Chains A and B, each alone.
Chain A
């Protein structure tokens, strides 16, 4: 994180990719709407990718320490339950993260 040129380069690349994704429907709307496969991807991919990111991030997190998978499993289930019944994204994230931090830092 010390090399500012590297970080600025990463930030520019991320900004370009994000803008390109958000702009795609506006420059290629007719092409996107004409192809049924795009609608199928739109229905299928967001959930599949979000589930994969959730599993992958949890697994990566559990490998960063030697105390097993329990803290991750409990905190993820808590976040899922809070969001399902509470529908408050910020509260779900805050409570689950605080619970996780307490579990990780408890002796």
Chain B
């Protein structure tokens, strides 16, 4: 019986409610959104364990919603990986703005990269420049914790539910609508939207099955050759 030194003095090295309080609004979004994923995954015939595994390994909301009908239809994994690439392409452009402040320690650096979702990105951009690496990692881990917790709750609920609701998977369409509005708010030009609508409406009657891929290819080519007006004097 080794008496431990008393620990009555509480460390006050950082103000309470400071660094982690920004994850509270993320929790209010991630727990219900994760629950919808878990619910839909189980309702489509998947197991709760695999739903939680997906939220641990993939950790990308829109891609996870999108995979459910694709996996239920038994599509090849290459097709699902390609769809994930398209849905998550925007993430390439997030890291660029945080580069000089990013944690440098090995595992912390790569876990923070792994957890760079839309919401975590927006929280990290509000942190002061001298934020220690452990807070940076803890915020990322807390956010993923909310997502995994929600997934588990939703999967459990989905396993109990006896009535399956038609159309609950509209949540994915609604998520795309929300993200499209936020892109529109930050637009520098309306050309990308008109081009997307134009190419899709041409491609769809020709080949409904390939309309999405053809339209995305057309938009990539257009982006490469596009000369924005405001950049012409630069």
Contact = CB atoms under 8 A, between A and B. Distances in A.
19 contacts: A10-B80, A17-B84, A18-B88, A22-B92, A25-B92, A26-B95, A41-B223, A43-B189, A43-B228, A44-B223, A46-B89, A48-B193, A51-B180, A51-B197, A72-B170, A75-B170, A79-B174, A96-B170, A96-B177
Interface of A: 1-2, 4, 6-19, 21-26, 29, 32-33, 37, 40-59, 61, 65, 71-72, 75-76, 79-80, 83-84, 89-90, 92-94, 96-97, 100-101, 103-105
Contacts of B196: 47-49, 51-52, 55
Given A14-B63, A51-B197, A97-B168, A92 B80 contact: no
B93 A42 contact: yes
Secondary structure dominating the interface of B:
helix
Contacts of B99: 25-26, 29
A18 B45 contact: no
Secondary structure dominating the interface of A:
helix
Nearest to A20: B85
A76 B32 CA distance: 20
B118 to A, nearest CB: 9
Interface size range of chain B in the complex: 35 or more
Contacts of A26: 95, 99, 102, 109, 113
Contacts of B179: 50
B171 interface: yes
Nearest to B97: A25
A105 to B, nearest CB: 5
